[in-house]
Structure 1
Amino acid sequence: MIVAVTGSGGKLGRATVERLRDHGHEVIGFDLTGPAGPGYTRVDLADYGQVLDALLGVTARHSGVDALVHLAAIPVNGLIPDAATFDNNVTASFHVLHAAYRAGIRRIVTASSITATGFPFEVAPPFLPLDETVSAAYNTYALGKIAEEAISAQLVTWAEGTSITALRFTNVVGPDEYATFERAGEPGYRRDLLGSWIDARDGALAVELALEHAQPGFEVYNVTHPLSGIADPSRVAAERWFPGTPMAADLGEHESLFSARKIVERLGFAPEHDWR
Structure 2
Amino acid sequence: MNLREKVDAGNLPRHIAVIMDGNGRWAKQKGGLRIFGHQSAITAVRETVEAAAELGVEYLTLYAFSTENWSRPALEVSALMQLLVSTIRKETATLNKNNIRLQTIGDTNSLPASCQKELREAIEITKDNTRMTLVLALSYSGRWDITQAAQRLAMDVAKGVVAASDVTEKSFEQYLSTAGMPDPELLVRTSGEQRISNFLLWQLAYTEFYITDLLWPDFRKEHLYEAIISFQQRERRFGKTSEQLIK
Same fold by TM (over 0.5)?
no
The TM-score with structure 1 as length reference comes to: 0.35
Structure with bigger helix share is 2
Q: Which has the higher contact order (CA 8 A, sep 6+)?
A: 2
